[in-house]
Structure 1
Amino acid sequence: MVQNMAGKTKKAILMMLYKNRNRFLSGQRISEEIGCSRTAIWKHIRELIHEGYTIEAVQKSGYKLAGAPEGLNEAALSVDLHTRKIGRHIRFYDSIGSTQKEALRLADEGAEDGTVVITNEQTAGRGRLGHNWQSQRGKNIAMSLILRPGLSIEKTPQLTLVAAVAAAETIEKEAGFSCGIKWPNDILWQGQKLVGILTELQAEANFVKAVVMGIGINVNTEADAFPEDLRGQAGSLFSITGRKYDLSRFTRIFWEIFESLYQLFLSEGFIAIKPLWEKRAISLGKPIRIRRPGGVVLCGKALGINDEGILLLQQDDQQIVPVYSADIEWN
């Protein structure tokens, strides 16, 4: 309990430093607002410095945050966040096997709508259809969102497309270039994958208790840091633009954009999201090869998506087949 209280105090100090990062804060003011002694404040400041934060300490002026370790931290994620639910409850881990596995556990225990599990390093991440998704420490974003949308089971796959649009809009806003969406959820730039999304449900009968969305975004990874078998297939914002990005700011922007689209989806339905997804779709109208779970392969032309977000494949015999889950390759 004492250790937990100390952690909360240290987080509160860091939050104050982030909120006032352009000026010095006196130890007295921090002490009064947080409710602990100035000696305790100095102890926590030293711990933060040991953890890699650069904090200027000037006699009679106080403390000022001058720098932070590479990657994410809970205070930076929270301080300038403008959402109602998404990210208001954060479970932050410096390292974790899988944010998705942890989020599924928390959802089953009753975690609130909008809770986010996020990490600086993911060592055993999962992608769609059993693929792996690793996250290099302090370079990328690996997180899982817990949602309780009150939808029927058949409508929940549409949330994957909502998240894909949010990811594309965030990249466009922060990095300044447009990217495409490969059905249903891969974000690509010139064939290089930047974002992956995995959506899983917790349901009873036809009632959805929770939707857990795992989202991985390659942000600051250097091109030569990707495994050899993925080079040319995977990319990052840094490898494309040559610029490093503030991961906390990027994450907050994504949460804000996603929440706006999510609320639009809940109030107006997928019909409001469909045109936003379609204008970024890169496979529509093209010959594609569908690989379904179990090794089933279908070939044809991607006609588009219907109002439920299901991909429509026109086979060579002109038969139109709905595709609910599959890997897509271009012929």
Structure 2
Amino acid sequence: MDHYSSLKSLIGDDLECHYFDSLESTSSFLNSLPSSNITQLCVTREQTLGKGQHGREWLSQKDGSILLSIRQTFGIDINLSGLSLVVGLAIIRALEKECRIDGFKIKWPNDIYFRGAKLAGILLENSIQEGSQSVTIGVGLNYHLEQEMFCDIPWIDLSKIAKKLPDIHELTALIINNILSMSAYFKLNGLSHLLSQWDQYDMLKGAKLKSIEFGKSFEGEVVGISNQGALKVLTENGTKELYSSKNIEYI
């Protein structure tokens, strides 16, 4: 029987789907395809060159993680700064429903944590074509990692969280469907539906940080996000909005 047969039955037939047993990277595969107005999906059981934020490696094991990417087309005028937060919320809603537990948090702008340990990562890559922009949403979620992995940050998987581990294909399908539906809402409404819920999932509120702006360092306290998805930091010179985590150090 096809390994992905149950997954295929749970997602829409209006996607261009690609399924693999092993692949270097689901996002790299989709980015190698010609651009299309049809939403493209790639799922694999194993990644050999998985990518994380800022060029980091994403570690995984065969059938131990949910590994997928979705490539969609957005209007050229849509600000994508908050899309990773929407994707994070879409994943958390799937986890809350399938695992029936609360406590999942989003570490701005693209990681999902549970009790201080990293559970999932999101990586967005975009390219601009004439009149539109393509966005590839990469998702890696630790499902059941049977071998110990050596990582410089604490991590956790669903097998250590859920009383009953959800079926991997049912959870994958719900994550895909949630991302698609919430991305469609984001295209029309931006982050308006997320702002009222953000405090519930905000891992960083109240955190102290140090960052660099125009060559000068400053310190401040995280107070939330803006309606464009920026991290709002209260400093002695007022509130600053940060759009990248690259130059942030938490203190």
Task: Tell me the TM-score normalized by structure 2.
Answer: 0.88
Which among 306, 309, 316 is matched to residue 229 of structure 2? 309
Contact 1:145 1:214 in 2 (8 A): yes
Contact 2:119 2:155 in 1 (8 A): yes
| Deviation (angstroms), 1:246 | 1.6
Q: Which has the higher helix share?
A: 1
| Separation in structure 1 between the aligned mates of residue 31 and residue 163 of structure 2, nearest angstrom | 36
| Separation in structure 1 between the aligned mates of residue 151 and residue 9 of structure 2, nearest angstrom | 39
Percent identity over paired residues: 26
Contact 2:232 2:241 in 1 (8 A): yes
Contact 2:76 2:128 in 1 (8 A): no
Contact 2:85 2:229 in 1 (8 A): yes
User: 2:148 maps to what in 1?
Assistant: 226
Contact 2:36 2:73 in 1 (8 A): no
Alignment of 1:78 onto 2:8: yes
| Deviation (angstroms), 1:242 | 5.4
Counterparts in 2 of 1:278 and 1:204: CA distance versus 1, 3 Å: farther
**What SS does the aligned partner of 2:144 have?**
coil
User: 1:104 maps to what in 2?
Assistant: 31
User: 2:53 maps to what in 1?
Assistant: 128
| Deviation (angstroms), 1:283 | 0.8
Counterparts in 2 of 1:276 and 1:96: CA distance versus 1, 3 Å: same
| Deviation (angstroms), 1:166 | 0.5
Counterparts in 2 of 1:191 and 1:289: CA distance versus 1, 3 Å: farther
| Deviation (angstroms), 1:134 | 2.4
For each residue in 1:261-316, what CA deviation from the matched residue of structure 2 results, as whole angstroms up to 9, or x when unmatched?
A: 22222232221232233421121233234489xx986531012111111111122x
Alignment of 1:90 onto 2:17: yes
- 1:215 is aligned with what amino acid? V
Which among 166, 175, 179 is matched to residue 99 of structure 2? 175
Q: Which has the higher strand share?
A: 2
Which is greater in Rg?
A: 1
Contact 1:112 1:146 in 2 (8 A): no
Worse-matched range after superposition: 242-251 or 120-129: 242-251
Alignment of 1:325 onto 2:244: yes
Gap regions ≥5 residues in structure 2: none
Task: Tell me the TM-score normalized by structure 1.
Answer: 0.68
Count of residue pairs brought into register by the alignment: 248
Alignment of 1:249 onto 2:176: no
Contact 1:261 1:273 in 2 (8 A): no
* RMSD (Å) for aligned C-alpha atoms: 2.4
Gap regions ≥5 residues in structure 1: 1-13, 15-47, 49-72
